[in-house]
Chain A
Amino acid sequence: MLKTQASVLTLLLILASNIFPVVWAQEKTLVIAMNSTPKGVDPDIWVPGQIEATVNLYEGLTSYGTRVGSNGKLEVDPSKIQPHLAESWTVSPDGKKYLFKLKHGILSPFGNELTSQDITWTYEKSAQQKRTGQFMASVGRIEKVEAVSKYEVRFQLSDANRIFLGALTLHLPAIFDSVEAKKHATADDPYATKWLSLNSAGFGPYHLQSIQSGQQAVFVVNPNYHFKKPYYTKVIWREVPSPATRVALVRTGQVQYAEQIPFQQLSVLRTDPAVKVESVPGFGGATVRMNPRYPPFDKVKVRQAVAYATDYAAIGEAVFLGQGTRSRSMLNSPIAGAVNAYKYETDYNKAKQLLTEAGYPNGVDVTLEYSTNWWWEEPLVLQMQASLAKAGIRVTPKKIPSTEMLARRTINVWTVPFLTHLTSSFVPDPSYNMFLTAHCKGSSNVNANCDAAMDKLIDASAIERDEKRWLSLIEQAQNLQADSATFIETFLPGTHEVFAACMKGYLWKPHNRLVWKDLNCSS
């Protein structure tokens, strides 16, 4: 019987070794190893993998310009917004009406031309769905969108504001090929939301060909794409949930890109000649936030004590492994108007003194809650626990499920007194970022950071059209926020993308997702 087993094992081993060298499927096929296949491709509906896909399927009326950065590389210039699907625009003297002229001959993969009807249909769909697209429309203070002619569309805003044009650079509200989408509409689903959740109909560089849930998604280039033709004609998105496996795949050249590579592996990968690591500081900051509605954080001196008792150098070394950039404000470069408002440095004596002044001479016990939304949360919490203890702030770390964290930190719920959070957004506009994170109505205001003076400054900055006064308002808001110390600004973890060595053309975008059309592997 043992002979039989030996034969079976030998056969299996032969099969295991009977592997032909795996080559990239075809010339100009980009194979990417992703955490999961997209669970949907409607930009209005926030599901895992959706944004990573849809930034390549849909494009905006405007786009950010580029410039050569200090390192000699091309980078996004947030101060320069240029026409994209639009050819040009005019603004009314009060800044509340924008008339966009659309470029002629922009075609979807279905051969339909972009018209003003597509724009109005898009905004109607988002308004009906009441999800992310509507939120973005409200951020830009869009009141009404109307078709003026086949190639002209007018946006009526409730207030003149600076965020509007920046918001139009995004992939949402996605500009759909409404002619195609309407073919899939039903009486119950007039905006074809079911069909659009699993199919794409846009004017962007790529088009979804197929999704096999849990396995792979295949995207093909839009043959009618109006702008520079992408190098890759096909993108195969493979689901590889294990980060260790993704690392092995990119190191062996089986994939040209692997997402969400553990931070700890980046320094090793940088030395691997088969791999290219592209790093950008970005403007997303790892923060620890205090909710002033809960004692002892209702006292500003306690919050400031926490800021002074934080060991920033240790966090930089132990948590971000020397690869992060120190955050100096709730706004960070390249956002216009970012200043070094956050002046706190490690000073345990000052922290103890502030605690005593706040009525806690024997220190204080607090619970710091965190989840697994970002890889750095747990090490950051442990580092905070160690450093705050030196000033008598005794921290109990508490890990909670991501879904619980999301539910409890939501605006107007705000039941987490002390938590970790990433300050980030899609649009590098200062007013928009401050609104999101520090305005009482901001949807990323996770710690009840409600201050009437702050809200007033942010609101004023959003509609201020004079450059000098605008910058002054932004600076005042940042200083006010830093003084209130409801955020402990630590580091910008940065974006670190891992490619096969030959890959070129990577350009970081404010939405922080990979844009395939920029990439190439030409000699």
Chain B
Amino acid sequence: MSATRRSRIIRFLFFRFVVSIPVLLGIIFLTFMLIRIGGQDPVAMIAGPVADSAMLSAIRSQLQLDQPLLKQFLNYVLLVSQGDLGVSWQGGKPVLSEIKQLFPATLELVFLSVGLAALVGVPIGMRSALKPNGWFDQLTRFCSLAGFSMPTYWLGLMAIFVFFYLLRWAPAPMGRLGVDVVAPTFVTGSVLIDCLLEGNWSALNSAMSHLALPVLCFALLAAAPIIKQTRAIMLEIVGSDYVRYARANGFSQKTIEKIALRNAAGPLLTFLGSELTSLLAAAALIEYIFSLSGLGQWGLNAILLGDFAVVQGYVLTLALCSMLIFMVIDLLVLMLEPRN
């Protein structure tokens, strides 16, 4: 790597890091304020239905919810800066430790799904673009439209109904492992990786079978926009001057495809990055239906119950993760840029 390129990358990373600080602060501020002005009051929920006003006041004071909003916010920022995301009122567990436990399940689901969707979607989109309006292209467009139109929730329920209830092919959708399986020791939090590390093959089999259906459902939904976007990008590239020039020079179809793919890599990676981040948030529904106990399911529950610290921790984690994904993608694009 040339010195100029290295310094360009370092400058890029530094710039992104500096920019991320105010962005994160803004996200923390917005989440903090929105959840508090949203009309939810966790105090009554914590106290239970037999609470009197004295009990409510005591809990409010204990949670420091009786303090001015700005003071509450500054206290929270101070805690976050020390790596403390607060405590969930549901069970009193530290939010950070819950995130460490649950986030790997979400990452596992999303990365496998997007990986599978990309593996299938990119070549299909490319082939469609290379022979536009042919039978394959028409079929692909129809399928991707169907993929776009299916709500996640509906697709998940239908998959359970067909593959679990009717055909009995899929295992019971209640968790990441069967009830009779000994879970591997928590190392990374990804059941698949932990099973492999431990050599726990029966758990690995169970984990793969439990993940197969949710991953297929999620991949199906993710593949539709990937196919569409790949096709659009490739159509633009195939019609570009440099591809026409390559054709005129008599390059083979395979070489032209290689050239096109190299040029499409940048916009495709950027798109895959945005897919990853949007699916991180959308994973909540798949986790909910298949009882996968990931971060999304936990965050969704917290939103319904007004568990402020958890909601804030959930949003902050997603924001951080999104920023990290985009940073990596942008870095990759920078490195793949043919003009560099």
Contact = CB atoms under 8 A, between A and B. Distances in A.
A443 B290 CA distance: 38
A171 to B, nearest CB: 14
A194 B92 contact: yes
Given A16-B163, A255-B174, A242 B90 contact: no
Interface string A9-21: 1001101111101
A22 B175 CA distance: 13
Contact of B45 (A242, A252, A403): A403
A416 B217 CA distance: 43
Interface string B294-338: 100110010011100000000000000000000000000000000
Contacts of B40: 401, 403-404
A350 to B, nearest CB: 35
A400 B39 contact: yes
Contacts of B48: 46, 131-132
B161 A25 contact: no
A402 interface: yes
Given A15-B209, A248-B160, A401-B306, A214 B297 contact: yes
A275 B288 CA distance: 24
A19 B170 contact: yes
A198 interface: yes
Given A9-B120, A46-B46, A411-B53, A213 B170 contact: no
B209 A16 contact: yes
Interface stretch (A232-240, A262-270, A480-488, A509-517): A232-240
Interface string A132-161: 100110000000000000000000000000
B235 interface: no
A209 interface: no
A404 B304 CA distance: 11
B269 interface: no
Contacts of B304: 402
Nearest to B295: A214
B297 A248 contact: no
B50 interface: yes
A8 B90 contact: no
9 contacts: A5-B123, A47-B91, A214-B297, A238-B179, A239-B291, A242-B291, A255-B174, A402-B304, A443-B49
Interface in B105-161: 116, 119-120, 123-124, 127, 157, 160-161
Interface string A402-445: 11101100111100000000000000000000001000000110
Contacts of A47: 46, 89-91
Contact of B47 (A131, A213, A240, A254): A131
Contacts of A186: none
Interface string A194-218: 1001100000000000001111100
B289 interface: yes
Q: Size class of B's contact patch? A: 35 or more
Contacts of B53: 410-413
B212 A245 contact: no
B50 A443 contact: yes
Contact of B52 (A23, A33, A248, A443): A443
Given A213-B98, A406-B41, A252 B289 contact: no
B187 interface: no
Contacts of B55: 130-131
A242 B161 contact: no
Interface in B151-207: 157, 160-161, 163-165, 168-176, 178-180, 205
A19 B169 contact: yes
Given A213-B101, A245-B174, A249-B172, A403 B42 contact: yes
Contacts of B212: 12-13, 15-16
B221 interface: no
B44 interface: yes
Contacts of B180: 22-23, 25-26
A181 B82 CA distance: 32
B208 interface: yes
Contacts of A400: 39
B43 interface: yes
A241 interface: yes
A9 B215 CA distance: 11
A249 B161 CA distance: 10
Nearest to B301: A36
Contacts of A13: 212
A248 B298 contact: no
Contacts of A33: 174
B115 to A, nearest CB: 10
B93 interface: yes
B50 A402 contact: no
A19 B291 contact: no
Nearest to A252: B165
A424 to B, nearest CB: 9
A218 B119 CA distance: 39
B172 A252 contact: yes
Given A22-B171, A248-B160, A401-B38, 13 more contacts: A2-B123, A15-B209, A26-B180, A39-B90, A40-B92, A48-B305, A213-B98, A213-B102, A215-B176, A239-B175, A403-B44, A410-B44, A444-B50
